[in-house]
């Protein structure tokens, strides 16, 4: 795992960052705190007893360092036919009363928002980091998926049940990777199934992008920083378990004629043509008969030109939405175009209910269908409005994430106006004019790891020296000049 990081030079800079982040939350109307009624519900609720005991399964959680809102715990075992995946998901519905004060607030929030100075959770911490979280060494109600896959990683069958679980251990990604590298038998099977599912994904025509992440850090003195982090292999294998569950959940929903899919339209042919042009410009081989997924699987994000190609490839995955069907007031049957193009399968969100509202509803649909029961009325009545609720809160979450990065990037460069820094051109706006200021685009700096707007002599994938022309924390704006 490669990282590059930089921190602010002074507490005064950190104070200005906090003010800018506060202004950002006000601008986006981010909920500041839960109502007294919602908090009272969260503190007083007692989940219903469950009949099935899964505490003999040695689940572990794998999350970023410091996480306490633990949605998922996993265990993989070998069978005579292949493998069995047990995936325990926090049973949030057993803690949230439909139509209550807390339920109403979660519909306003939609998703958890993460920032360097504070986190705005979907649920009160009493639930998300307490009684509903799959913390190690304690009994927790959970929704447990049991999915069988064959020796090639393809789904054979599965079931989903409520039950009691006890996670054995909380691991970070780095710890899990170390265990796997050291030959851990149980976690080694996570790698085996993860790699099989990655191969299945490629064969379906799906794709996962390995783009280095900009990650905001904090120091004990309260200052903020930024690092560029390459993802570990175990993160991809672990993500495949979540995708496996979501694909199986979507199959259940289609068979039952009720549910909510996460959908993504196929890439626009014009975007694909532009990406092929980009590949030629960057010297990346793309055979005429190869799909974009085949090419992306060979790209190394640590190489500047290939990193630029990956950054351009993200534009293929635009227009994601939720598609609900079978609820009150909706036409029966599954819409024809409801697949997720990047996954190359129909897919449902059911694995992160502590942090994403829609997962609670998708999970309840699957529990009812698996048990041969009617889907609860409170679920059916909400399905029609969920796509718009998730779209509205998703737009706010995206704006918040981008705004937070803009603030920290501006802070890191605010004392470096006029300096020349090395970087690579990762985006060029083909519509911009070659005038006095040149073309517009984006440059990813090497140090600090900032990706910022740029003007000047820009050629995609070129290694350049960029001058910091502007860096305003309050305005959340950085501008670089090239040439």
Q: Give the whole-angstrom CA distance, residue 114 versus residue 122.
A: 11
CB 215 within 8 A of CB 354: no
pLDDT tens string 292-351: 888 887 887 777 777 778 877 887 888 999 999 998 877 667 787 789 999 999 999 999
CB 103 within 8 A of CB 215: no
CB 216 within 8 A of CB 6: no
Alpha-carbon gap, residue 292 to 272, rounded angstroms: 8
Average pLDDT, the chain: 89
Count of H helices and E strands in the chain?
13, 18
Give the torsion sign (CA, 402, 294, 207, 199).
negative
pLDDT (mean) for 85-92: 98
Longest dimension (CA), the chain: 72
**Cα–Cα dist 154/135, whole Å:** 30
* pTM score: 0.89
> Could you give the CA distance from residue 167 to residue 92 in angstroms, rounded to a whole number?
17
pLDDT score, position 271: 82
Among 367, 377, 322, residue whose Cα is nearest residue 89 = 367
Over the stretch 354-406, which tens digit does the pLDDT of each residue have?
Answer: 999 999 999 999 999 999 999 999 999 999 999 999 999 999 999 999 999 89
- In this predicted structure, what is the pLDDT of residue 1? 26
Tokens found for residue 290: 């190869």
Cα–Cα dist 187/169, whole Å: 12
What pLDDT sits at residue 3? 31
Bridge partners (DSSP) listed for residue 108: none
User: What single-letter DSSP state applies at residue 340?
Assistant: B
Q: What is the DSSP letter of 129?
A: I
């Amino acid at each position: 795992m490669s990282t590059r990081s930089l921190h602010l030079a002074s507490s005064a800079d950190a104070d200005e960052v906090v003010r800018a982040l506060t202004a950002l939350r006000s601008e986006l109307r981010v909920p500041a705190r839960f109502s007294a009624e919602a908090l009272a519900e969260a503190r007083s609720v007692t989940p219903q007893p469950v009949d099935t005991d899964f505490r003999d399964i040695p689940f572990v959680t794998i999350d970023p360092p410091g996480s306490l809102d633990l949605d998922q715990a996993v265990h993989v075992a070998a069978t005579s036919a292949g493998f069995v995946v047990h995936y325990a998901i926090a049973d949030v519905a057993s803690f949230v009363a439909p139509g209550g004060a807390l339920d109403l607030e979660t519909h306003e929030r939609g998703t958890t928002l993460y920032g360097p100075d504070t986190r705005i959770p979907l649920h009160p911490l009493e639930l998300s980091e307490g009684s509903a979280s799959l913390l190690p060494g304690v009994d927790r109600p959970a929704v447990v998926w049991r999915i069988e896959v064959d020796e090639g990683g393809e789904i054979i069958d599965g079931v989903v049940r409520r039950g009691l679980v006890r996670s054995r251990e909380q691991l970070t990604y780095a710890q899990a990777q170390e265990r796997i590298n050291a030959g851990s038998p149980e976690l080694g099977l996570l790698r085996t199934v993860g790699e099989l599912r990655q191969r299945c994904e490629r064969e379906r025509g799906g794709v996962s992008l390995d783009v280095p992440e900009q990650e905001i850090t904090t120091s004990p003195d309260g200052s903020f920083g930024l690092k560029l982090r390459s993802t570990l292999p175990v993160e991809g294998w672990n993500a495949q378990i979540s995708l496996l569950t979501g694909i199986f959940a979507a199959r259940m929903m289609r068979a039952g004629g009720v549910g909510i899919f996460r959908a993504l339209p196929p890439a626009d042919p014009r975007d694909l043509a532009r990406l092929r042009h980009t590949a030629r410009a960057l010297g990346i081989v793309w055979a005429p008969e190869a799909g974009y997924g085949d090419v992306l699987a060979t790209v190394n994000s640590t190489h500047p030109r290939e990193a630029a190609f990956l950054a351009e490839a993200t534009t293929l995955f635009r227009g994601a939405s939720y598609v609900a069907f079978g609820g009150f007031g909706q036409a029966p049957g599954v819409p024809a175009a409801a697949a997720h193009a990047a996954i190359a399968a129909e897919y449902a969100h059911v694995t992160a209910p502590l942090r994403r509202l829609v997962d609670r509803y998708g999970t309840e649909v699957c529990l009812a269908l698996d048990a041969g029961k009617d889907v609860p009325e409170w679920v059916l009545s909400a399905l029609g409005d969920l796509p718009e609720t998730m779209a509205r809160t998703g737009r706010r979450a995206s704006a918040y994430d981008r705004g937070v990065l803009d603030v920290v990037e501006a802070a890191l460069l605010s004392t470096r106006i006029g300096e020349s820094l090395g970087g690579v051109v990762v985006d060029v706006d083909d519509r911009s004019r070659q005038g006095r200021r040149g073309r517009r685009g984006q440059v990813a700096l090497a140090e600090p790891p900032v990706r910022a707007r740029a003007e000047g002599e820009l050629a995609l994938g070129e290694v350049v020296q960029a001058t910091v022309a502007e860096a305003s924390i309050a305005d959340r704006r950085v501008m670089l000049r090239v040439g």
